[in-house]
Chain A
Amino acid sequence: MTLTTRSAAELATALQQGETTSVECTTAFLDRIEATNPTINAFLSIDRDGALAKAASVDAARAQGKSLGPLAGLPVAVKDVLCTTDQKTTCASKMLKTFEPPYDADVVRRLREADAVILGKTNMDEFAMGGSNENSAYGLVRNPWDTDRAPGGSSGGSAAAVAADMTPLAIGSDTGGSIRQPAGLCGITGLKPTYGRVSRRGLIAFSSSLDQIGPMARSAKECAMLLQTIAGHDSGDSTSINTPVPDYLTDLEKPLQGLRIGRVAAHFSEGLDPEVAEHVEQTFATYEAAGATIHEVELPHAAYGVPTYYLIAPSEASSNLARYDGAHYGHRWDGTPSDDQGINTFDSPLVEMYCRSRAEGFGPEVKRRIMLGTYALSAGYYDAYYAKALRVRRLIRNDFTQAFEKVDLIGGPVSATPAFKLGEKTDDPIAMYLVDLYTVGANLAGIGGISFPCGFTQSKLPIGFQLQGPALSEPLLLQAAHQYQQTTDWHLQRTTAISS
């Protein structure tokens, strides 16, 4: 068994027992990245020197019997939305092509303190806006199960990297499904923690009230290992939750006897791919067989989730992305007259610089969302759009609160379809927005959700299953996913669509 096909848990054991070294292990993954990245494009930057140096120092420390962090010597890939002092942080945007943050994101700091080896930064939809990873200024990402298909997004690079064995562990961020949806489409496991469980400091904001960083790996157990490191209170993030972090590994092995799982009938309405529906139903059956009970629950306002999300997220984004104006850092128009891109008169040279810098620096989807959000927050429209969206958001949150009085977790599909063809939805923004149908609710409600593989289509495309749980239910979400993975092997299947 080659090193790159081993799970992080197995690698940790091998490292502790001296069967391998971090340098050997890191080299194996770096080589795998080198071989497959030209096809998959999962990584935007690869820090071979930095990773090997860290690996060597961990090996040295281990040899000297020094105490090491919980992720000592384990490779991890970080979505390029998180600030790193030693690598550029681009958010897959031309706007931040040369941006070198002067500080590490809190999550990156925790990874370093846990002695993880950061391999590089993963590709994504520009500013985390998208569901297919086709919005990257540095090229799309291909799904390792079928390279003509999208890996999902926006954490498509992280999902593809794990699926293609380029890294055992990856960090993603989830604003409307950006961890769970690509995890589902790439056949890996991804957890969106409760809002505030993981610090957002150093996460380049898309929609501050929805963004949440989470772990992505092959299995729930590895997600638990990674979450253990990245979760926790941060006084530098006012929205960070200040409650102790439980041990996410303790409860993993407990049986599911008595677990109440909710099933939402509306999830199975028109639009759900039959193969997906079939495997999702089978998953419910597997849980029942494992001792859980299935209960019908309703989320009456779920249908408003996507419209609500597409008012709140762009509104916040329009403000969060205002800082990219070319004045202080990032892309600035070089002053030479270019295509006027529909704009040719300006109030002042300053305004021209702003307009042209932003016109050049942002891709079309980012511009679309900035305009949507600017519109929704404008005088005369605020009440009809943004304010109303906030009210619906409260209703959606209440739906979950009420449902969780009856059940412990809610199960269902992650996406309506398996991975779609590259280019299939790029001309149809609404169709693209609907890929978030099953995932936006958890972000709007601020609760946790986990996505893991529950089967494959006949054409060998992964199908994901989602469990959602109340705030701070991460131990239960991880336990339920882990128990499922103890009786199934979907998460262990490897793609053969790419050659190393």
Chain B
Amino acid sequence: MTAESKHPFTTVIGLEVHVQLQTQTKLFCGCVTTFGSPPNTQVCPTCLGLPGSLPVMNRRAFDLSLRAALALNCKIASFTKWDRKNYFYPDLPKGYQISQFDLPFSYEGYLEVVDPKGAFEPRTVRIIRVHLEEDAGKSMHDETAGTADSRIDLNRTGTPLCEIVTEPDLRSPEEARAWLNELKLLLVYLGVSDCNMQEGSLRVDANVNLHIPQPDGRLAKTPIVEIKNMNSFRSVERALVYETERQWGEWQDTGAEIGSMPKQTRGWDDSAGVTRGQRHKEESSDYRYFPDPDLVPVTVSEEQVAAVRSTMGEPPALLRKTLAERWDIPAYDADVLVNQGPELVEYFEDLAKKVGEGKVASNWMQQDVLRMLNERGGHIADFPVQPTAVADIIGRVKKGDFDTGRGKEIFAAVLETGKPVDEVVAGMGIAAVDEDDLQKLCEELIAENPKIVADVKGGKEQAAGGLIGQAKRKNPNVNPGKVRALALELIRALP
């Protein structure tokens, strides 16, 4: 259900995404960037903004941001500089943020998102610019026992942050969420960022308004609202759905159009499921940008760009294609696997190699490994059952030791107990059924089920299915396929 389908308007969405780069050290000093350390333990005079301290650019952080920009098909500026964005806040110890104003290091890119189920048309979202800046610290407001203390943690201060600004090319909340997923996947695949929203390494603001065709052919546009404070992609989608409806309601009530009021910022309240207007500043902020005199401009040569490009991995869009071709699996399968991230793809390829057959491996990945992973939570890197064990189980199924259903039980037991496959198989009393035993069992079943025999004889072969359940009760190790085949053969041989 999209808003578009219900109402006579187009939803117009642009995103502003901040992504923390996965560098060892901060952008302008040597402090480490590990998340979750005790407050104010990863700081130095420079990121504390102490008097007399000076920034020095971390070229590796810069190269990593180049990688992100190249992945987003951006042009790379040969000359870029640093600007100061001046504002007062306690988590900004210098009183300014080092950022990029008029000469971002990259611009004019795009990223396409395709929905494998075809819920929306493939959408190419243009990227206006990607620039690099330093992150601010964190304010922690302690509201316990009426103390209302605010505490500042400056560990994050100076962490490299890429700001990605899109054109308003998205047309529904659903698209916005899908595009963000694609962006996240891309940045994770390229090792640019872990994109962990809980840890704040990816933050999204959304700009949204409605374009409403008028009877006279004019296109009315509602005032643009910037939504902040969304903590997950799901929140982004929900907030946009809410805001679309709210704007439609407001349009019907007031008919207010863009330009009739200053741009509004609304905060998303996830538990209440609403956006709320944030306090208006009397005048729009004036950040008094100017070139940072403590830093020198950065030049980027063709060779440097080529060097960064040569170390880039395969972006997900390309990987989907190559994975499907390499393992002869449907595009849908490749999509599901790639969307789970690089470690899962690695797991799959390892499994497929050992099984020798992509589709079987893909089925097991989707039906068993992924299902268990989702049930258990956690990451594939920590998944206790290795591809070798899964391949072992699949191999035994293929050999006819037991059927797929049994194989799944074994997989679950291996996961549960942490025991090797052999041990689990033995513990479950699973043993290959001897051909003679199978013959004897089938003969017994035929003797005991004259009605089924008659039905089969009468042409209803599917009636033989009734024998399989009975066979499994007599001996849980029998292979249903084999039972079926042999039973049919014996029945046909009856006079």
Contact assessment for A238 and B49 in the assembled complex, using a CB-CB cutoff below 8 Å: no
CB neighbours (8 Å) of A327 from chain B are 90, 93, 152
Q: Indicate whether A346 reaches chain B with its CB closer than 8 angstroms.
A: no
Q: Tell which of A83, A207, A321, A351 has the most Cβ of chain B within 10 Å.
A: A83
Q: Beyond A209-B293, A322-B88, is A328–B288 a contact (Cβ under 8 Å)?
A: no
Shortest C-beta distance, A22 to chain B (Å), equals 28
Beta-carbon contact of A379 and B45 below 8 Å: no
Interface centre among B50, B286, B293 (most CB of A within 10 A): B293
Report which of B84, B94, B288 forms a contact with A378, defined as CB distance below 8 A: B288
Contact A350 B56 (CB under 8 A): no
Say yes or no: A83-B52 contact (C-beta < 8 A), given A319-B84, A323-B94, A386-B290. yes
Instruction: Provide the A93-135 mask, 1 if CB < 8 A to any CB of B, else 0.
Output: 0001001011101000000000000000000000000000000
Pair A237/B54 contact, Cβ less than 8 Å: yes
Q: Is the CB of A208 within 8 A of B50?
A: no
Once the chains are docked, how many angstroms separate the CA of A203 from the CA of B84? 19
Q: A-facing mask of B147-159, CB < 8 A → 1, else 0?
A: 0000010000000
15 pairs, CB–CB < 8 Å, chain A vs chain B:
A83-B51, A101-B50, A103-B52, A208-B293, A235-B56, A238-B55, A319-B86, A319-B288, A321-B95, A322-B96, A323-B93, A323-B95, A325-B88, A377-B289, A378-B286
Residue of A nearest to B82 (CB): A238
Contact of B295 among A204, A238, A321 (CB under 8 A): A238
B75-112 interface bits toward A, Cβ cutoff 8 Å, 1 = contact, 0 = none: 00000000010101010011110000000000000000
Question: Which residues of the partner chain B approach A89 to less than 8 Å between Cβ atoms?
Answer: 51-52
Instruction: Tally chain B residues at the interface, Cβ within 8 Å.
Output: 28
Question: What residue in chain A is nearest B51 (Cβ atoms)?
Answer: A204
Q: Which residue of B lies closest to A377 (CB)?
A: B288
Q: Please report the total number of A residues contacting B with Cβ < 8 Å.
A: 44
A315 and B291 CA atoms in complex are apart in Å by: 11
| B residues 30-87 in Cβ contact with A at 8 Å | 45, 48-57, 84, 86
Give Cα A202–Cα B45 distance, bound, in whole angstroms. 10
Tell me if A200 and B51 are in contact (CB < 8 A): no
Cβ of B294 under 8 Å from chain A: yes
How far, in whole Å, are A209 and B292 apart by their CA atoms in the complex?
Answer: 9
Q: Does B296 contact A (CB under 8 A)?
A: yes
Q: Check A239 for interface membership: any CB of B closer than 8 A.
A: yes
Query: What A residues does B51 contact at CB under 8 A?
Result: 83, 89, 91, 96, 99, 101, 204-205, 323
Report yes or no: B294 in contact with A238, Cβ–Cβ below 8 A.
yes
- B294 and A315 contacting across the interface, CB-CB below 8 Å: no
The residue of chain B having its C-beta at the shortest distance from the C-beta of A202 within the complex is: B52
Q: Which of A200-232 contact B (CB under 8 A)?
A: 200-205, 207-209
Give B82 Cβ to nearest chain A Cβ, in Å: 9
Of chain B, the residue at the smallest CB distance from A93 is: B51
A52 sits at the interface (CB 8 A): no
Using A96-B51, A319-B86, A327-B93 as known contacts, say yes or no to A374 and B296 having CB atoms under 8 A apart: no
> What A residues does B94 contact at CB under 8 A?
322-323
**CB of A173, distance to nearest CB on chain B (Å):** 11
Beta-carbon contact of B95 and A322 below 8 Å: yes
